[in-house]
Chains A and B, each alone.
Chain A
Amino acid sequence: MLLIACPWCGPRDEAEFHYGGQAHVAYPEDPAALSDEEWARYLFFRDNPEGLFAERWSHTAGCRRWFNAVRDTATNEIHAVYRAGEPRPVIA
């Protein structure tokens, strides 16, 4: 089980959180202008790296706020947590 440091509440068990998948996927500015390929990419394609991954979590059993984390999917080590709206931190 992951120990996730909510930026507002501090470290809590993974069971308190809801997963939100890849972070920083912006809704298209003009969806109607997208080609079918571009719309498919927005709807169905997400990064799936074996390594560092910026992802969304919601602290559903705590403050109920969304935030982002950078986690290594090969090791599950969480390198950073940061609040929604903040840029993805650079991990050395």
Chain B
Amino acid sequence: MSPGTPSPETQGRRTPGADLPDHPDRLWRSAEPKRAYDVVIVGGGGHGLATAYYLAKNHGITDVAVLERGWLAGGNMARNTTIIRSNYLWDESAGIYEHALKLWEGLEEDLGYPLLFSQRGVLNLAHSLQDVRDSVRRVNANRLNGVDAEWLTPEQVKEVCPIVDVSPDVRYPVLGGTYQPRAGIAKHDYVAWGFAKAAADLGVDMIEHCEVTGLDVRDGRVTGVQTTRGPIAAGKVALAAAGHSSVVAGYAGVSLPLQSHPLQALVSELLEPVHPTVVMSNAVHVYVSQAHKGELVMGAGIDAANSYRRRGAFHIIERQMSAALELFPVFARAHVLRTWGGVVDVTPDASPVVGLTPVEDLYVNCGWGTGGFKATPGVGWCYAHTVATGEPHPLNAPFSLDRFTTGKLVDEHGAAAVAH
């Protein structure tokens, strides 16, 4: 029996989650590395896969390999809390995140693959007078940039998400919140599989269990990569290695303004639908949604100390849980099913680095910190343009490496919504 066929016993009675789509056995071909490619992408996560897809689709570049040291999309793409929104403060951020959101809105059709993209809205709560001022300012900035945003009173917050405690006698009372109705969640694995399948169908090689151990640089130009599966020559090399970007870029002598930290998340057991939207709180460091299957999905802040261990400190989880319980008293009897961590690469201004490097034909996409998932299609689109043309796309031009020299930072600590 193929995996897509319901067994006779289950036909006719649908259990929660049974409307999740089934999958064919193989979505892409796991390729053997060739000796040379026009473009080698280092990192088979969401960003690497989306970049490969748009290189092939938008630019006709199909002699492309995606190298992944583990299994495809097993890093932060498998570990994030799948929140999608574009309500950042600055024009530069609105440009790239809103481009991503618009792509999300047509992505299932474009990839021909279900992504469970659900525009259930995102609430960002304010708990202090300063939070309120910053939030209202951000709503106004969003609107000027054509990004949907509303300021909600505590009563309106309660209408959108009835399980939020908006009573005034708690330690951090809810004084209101910003709301982006077009924001939401998607199923992260399906997003990765959708991009991988679509890219593979266009001729891109997916090469798993292939760790990059060196970058070949000759006369200031990258010519290939050294891997655990042998050397691979490359016309261009595009890094998309997230938490390990500093290590990989270091092989070419390129320094990046990154610090790698563990970031944790957790899920509850499956519960009936209680949480209709996504709630984030910058001040108390928690963000919660309910997955299609029914788990409450919660994220925490990063561990303060640098680490490449995919395991964070327990007191971070404790703080996250206490914050979640105060906001959602109904969670008190939920059980944690599992917790996990990933390694995120954080920049000084909480904005990414996407563009050229001092080494010719070597490109970098990193520094997305705690919020890279939402950008997946947008950055894939722009990074592919950058790699294909050798010039930054207008939407990622502000996120160049040299902004740290010019001083033209894009400070998104307020809107990044996770403690950095």
A, B from the same assembly: yes
CB pair B305 A44 closer than 8 Å: no
Q: Considering the chains assembled together, what is the distance between the CA atoms of A2 and B315 in angstroms?
A: 10
CB pair B259 A15 closer than 8 Å: no
Q: Considering the chains assembled together, what is the distance between the CA atoms of A41 and B406 in angstroms?
A: 12
Q: Considering the chains assembled together, what is the distance between the CA atoms of A14 and B314 in angstroms?
A: 10
CB pair A50 B308 closer than 8 Å: yes
Select from chain A the residue with minimum beta-carbon distance to B255.
A45
- Cβ-defined partner of B404 (8 Å) among A18, A44, A49, A73: A44
CB pair A18 B308 closer than 8 Å: no
Q: Considering the chains assembled together, what is the distance between the CA atoms of A54 and B201 in angstroms?
A: 47
Q: Considering the chains assembled together, what is the distance between the CA atoms of A76 and B246 in angstroms?
A: 18
B309 proximity list for chain A (CB < 8 A): 73-76
CB pair A53 B257 closer than 8 Å: no
A46 is an interface residue with CB less than 8 A from chain B: yes
B10 is an interface residue with CB less than 8 A from chain A: no
Interface residues in A3-41 (C-beta closer than 8 Å to B): 13-15, 18-19, 21, 36-37, 40-41
Q: Considering the chains assembled together, what is the distance between the CA atoms of A46 and B255 in angstroms?
A: 9
CB pair B406 A73 closer than 8 Å: no
B223 is an interface residue with CB less than 8 A from chain A: no
B304 is an interface residue with CB less than 8 A from chain A: yes
Q: Considering the chains assembled together, what is the distance between the CA atoms of A18 and B305 in angstroms?
A: 9
Select from chain B the residue with minimum beta-carbon distance to A57.
B305
How far is the CB of A55 from the nearest CB of chain B, in Å?
7
B348 is an interface residue with CB less than 8 A from chain A: yes
CB pair B305 A55 closer than 8 Å: yes
- Cβ-defined partner of A73 (8 Å) among B256, B258, B307: B307
Q: Considering the chains assembled together, what is the distance between the CA atoms of A14 and B244 in angstroms?
A: 24
How far is the CB of A23 from the nearest CB of chain B, in Å?
12
Select from chain A the residue with minimum beta-carbon distance to B318.
A15
Q: A2-B313, A50-B308 are in contact. Are A45 and B404 (CB under 8 A)?
A: yes
Q: A1-B314, A45-B257 are in contact. Are A50 and B404 (CB under 8 A)?
A: no
B247 is an interface residue with CB less than 8 A from chain A: yes
- A to B CB contacts below 8 Å, 18 in the list: A13-B315, A14-B313, A21-B306, A36-B406, A44-B348, A44-B404, A45-B404, A46-B257, A48-B256, A48-B260, A50-B244, A50-B247, A50-B308, A53-B306, A55-B306, A71-B305, A73-B260, A76-B307
